[in-house]
Amino acid sequence: MQQYNFKYFFLKYKKRYLLGVVWLALVDILQLLIPQILRLFTDDLQDGLLDGAGLVRYAVFIILVATGTALFRFLWRLYINGTARKLERDLRNDLYHHLQKLSPNYFQHQKTGDLMAHATNDINAIRRATGPGVVMLADAIMLTIATISILIFTIDIRLTLMALIPLPFISLVSVRFGKIIHRKFKKVQEAFSDLSDKAQENFSGIRVVKAFAREKKEIARFETSNKENFLRNVNLIKTWGLFRPLVRFFSGLSFLVVIWYGGRLVILQTISLGDFVAFISYLGMLTWPMMALGFVINIIQRGRASLDRINEIFAEEPEIYNFPETDYDITELEGKITFENLTFSYPKEEKAVLEDISLSIEAGKTVAFLGRTGSGKSTIARLLLRMYNTEPEQIFLDDTDIRHVPLEVVRQEMAYVPQDNFLFSTTIAENIAFHDPETPRAEIEQAAREACVYDNIMDFPHGFDTILGERGVTLSGGQQQRVALARALIKRPKILMLDDSLSAVDTKTEEKILQNLETIMKDRTTILIAHRISTLKNADIIYVLDEGKIIERGIHDTLLENKGLYHDIYQKQLLEEKLEDS
């Protein structure tokens, strides 16, 4: 289980961070020279020692310092902020990789908008903590130590101590407000996640929203979430807005002390006017580190809150993986499937979806499952794909416990076409060749012909290069199903599972597709799951499921003779067809 912390990030790129801190230190050193130049300039000006050559000399000093500062500032930004960007890239890659490993069950209980917020806002907050946060922290420490040392040893220790009295209050205020900001920022992130989820959900389901004339109500729901996001952000801004004036107040007190006490020292000639000017400049530099502490705490607290949220994802373990007993010598399947007393319940559910299922499917056979909605048909396909784990020795592939077959082999040797297909927002050709982007165009076109969608694709102006809308919205329901079928057929799988995946296709096209399948899937195993008996009546054997149990099995004619559920469904569908034709 991978868990991240800031120590891990810094150690990973310690050389780059160290170099960045060196460049930052050089910038601070050059900045500390400016008050000294002003000090000498003021004293020379007061003593009447300054001429034209002297002015040019001081100008050259300032230009050199400014040039060096610009160069080293570029370098620390490259090495610190640039490294933070590398960490951002690595963390986002790791997060995506981890999400890909998690089981489908995890995504059924997570909101897409929340996951998107993790991958964007949260990782950005972590990047700021490891970039600007590091800069501010290192800058604050170095400037504070160097400035106080210079003030004590080169100007006046009494004035320095007087000026420092209000500054610790800045640190105390920063620490206190940092904790409050941490808590409020977490709420802001949660509100943003909810807002993102509502927006994503509505955009994906925009056709349903319009079909039910729900635009106004959905706008109201979005406005409620947007208002909550706004209020939480305003609450955070109020806290942040109160923090900065308090810091300014305490830093103003320091200047007030310096002007009063420092002015007296100048009048008494204890320090020179140049010393006083330099002290004011250094005090301005010292105020920034005290304020920076607050900024650092704010950024780091935000980063910590986001890191906690990211680590919650990394703490999730995949439920589906290769068990220790996996036989890695298995590299392909023949297609034989056996169920032995299979009983299965979905996670966190007590009721069994499938109960005491026992059957055997020989390689190369076509088997069909029929049943009412919720009878467990689709669950069989999901279990064969190992979307969920079963108990040992309940499902066998080629006489090997499915738990011992490498997961990669199971998924590569099978092809699954669900009723609710997902097509990507890319070209039709790339969708069909999803399993292998290097697939030749000729094979893509052949798969489209086999799925009876070739002519529909060629009707588009750009043919196979047509870019689909989100989730394939460019295509009709039947076209989406057939493109998804072509995507499965092009794999030439040993086991093909069609889960009511021709429900949106007309009966003539369906019949032609099934005829093509007889040729394509010869000597390969085909599993048909459907509500429509016309889809599966020619299968080698048909299993009828009801409430998770097999209540009938046999060929089409035999099942009709039994006068059971299969017969009832068949008669009902015949009546529906007659009503449609009349």
Q: What percent of the chain has pLDDT over 90?
A: 29
Note the pLDDT of residue 32.
78
- Of 131-145, 179-193, 333-347, the range with the highest mean pLDDT is 333-347
- Please, which pLDDT band fits residue 510 given cuts at 50, 70 and 90? confident
Q: Judging by DSSP bridges, how do beta strands 525-530 and 495-499 pair with one another?
A: parallel
Query: Residue 253 pairs with which residues in a beta bridge?
Result: none
Note the pLDDT of residue 396.
95
Of 343, 373, 354, 379, give the one whose Cα is nearest residue 527. 379
Give the Cα-Cα-Cα angle 375, 536, 503 (nearest 5 degrees). Answer: 70
d(CA 513, CA 507): 10
Average pLDDT estimate for 443-460: 92
Average pLDDT estimate for 448-471: 88
- Dihedral through CA 12, CA 16, CA 20, CA 26, nearest 10? 130
Residue position matching structure tokens 């304020």:
291
The three-state secondary structure class of 437 is: coil
d(CA 379, CA 344): 9
Note the pLDDT of residue 56.
82
Note the pLDDT of residue 339.
95
> In this structure, how many other beta carbons lie within 10 angstroms of the beta carbon of residue 505?
23
- Please, which pLDDT band fits residue 147 given cuts at 50, 70 and 90? confident
| For residue 383, pLDDT beyond 90 | yes
Which pLDDT tens digit goes with each residue over 264-318? 777 777 777 777 777 777 776 776 676 676 677 778 877 888 888 888 888 888 8
Give the Cα-Cα-Cα angle 114, 470, 460 (nearest 5 degrees). Answer: 175
Give the Cα-Cα-Cα angle 161, 165, 170 (nearest 5 degrees). Answer: 135
Average pLDDT estimate for 32-43: 76
- Of 217-221, 251-255, 484-488, the range with the highest mean pLDDT is 484-488
Higher pLDDT among residues 343 and 185, named by residue: 343
Q: Which residues lie closer than 8 Å to 319 by C-beta, 6 or more apart?
A: 103, 105, 106, 347, 388, 389
Note the pLDDT of residue 211.
67
Residue 104 in tokens: 């489908």
The DSSP annotation for 53-64 comes to HHHHHHHHHHHH
Sign of the Cα torsion 33, 34, 36, 40 reads: positive
Note the pLDDT of residue 290.
67
For residues 380 and 354, the answer to whether their CB atoms sit within 8 Å is yes
Residue 319 in tokens: 């439920």
Average pLDDT, the chain: 84
d(CA 177, CA 360): 67
For residues 76 and 23, the answer to whether their CB atoms sit within 8 Å is yes
Which pLDDT tens digit goes with each residue over 85-141? 999 999 999 998 888 888 877 887 777 767 877 888 889 889 988 888 888 888 878
Residue 279 in tokens: 């002290």
Note the pLDDT of residue 386.
92
| For residue 322, pLDDT beyond 80 | yes
Higher pLDDT among residues 449 and 277, named by residue: 449
For residues 209 and 202, the answer to whether their CB atoms sit within 8 Å is yes
Note the pLDDT of residue 139.
80
Classify domain 337-581 at the CATH class level.
alpha beta
| For residue 1, pLDDT beyond 60 | no
Which pLDDT tens digit goes with each residue over 537-568? 889 999 999 989 999 999 999 999 989 999 99
Note the pLDDT of residue 426.
87
CATH number belonging to domain 6-314 = 1.20.1560.10
Note the pLDDT of residue 306.
85
For residues 395 and 361, the answer to whether their CB atoms sit within 8 Å is no
Which pLDDT tens digit goes with each residue over 324-339? 888 989 999 999 999 9
d(CA 478, CA 535): 15
Note the pLDDT of residue 580.
66
Note the pLDDT of residue 338.
95
For residues 126 and 95, the answer to whether their CB atoms sit within 8 Å is no
Note the pLDDT of residue 291.
66
Which pLDDT tens digit goes with each residue over 163-176? 777 777 776 777 67
Of 332, 369, 303, give the one whose Cα is nearest residue 565. 369
- Of 56-60, 434-438, 494-498, the range with the highest mean pLDDT is 494-498
For residues 200 and 112, the answer to whether their CB atoms sit within 8 Å is yes
| For residue 402, pLDDT beyond 90 | yes
Note the pLDDT of residue 498.
92
Separation in Å, CA 478 to CA 250, 414, 435, 474:
70, 22, 21, 12
| For residue 373, pLDDT beyond 70 | yes
**Choice among 193-202, 351-360, 375-384 with the minimum mean pLDDT:** 193-202
| For residue 436, pLDDT beyond 70 | yes
Which pLDDT tens digit goes with each residue over 240-264? 777 777 777 776 777 777 777 777 7
Q: What percent of the chain has pLDDT over 70?
A: 94
Residue 38 in tokens: 């002003």
Residue 385 in tokens: 């794909």
| For residue 474, pLDDT beyond 80 | no
Could you tell me the residue ranges of all domains in the chain? 6-314, 337-581
Sign of the Cα torsion 446, 447, 450, 454 reads: negative
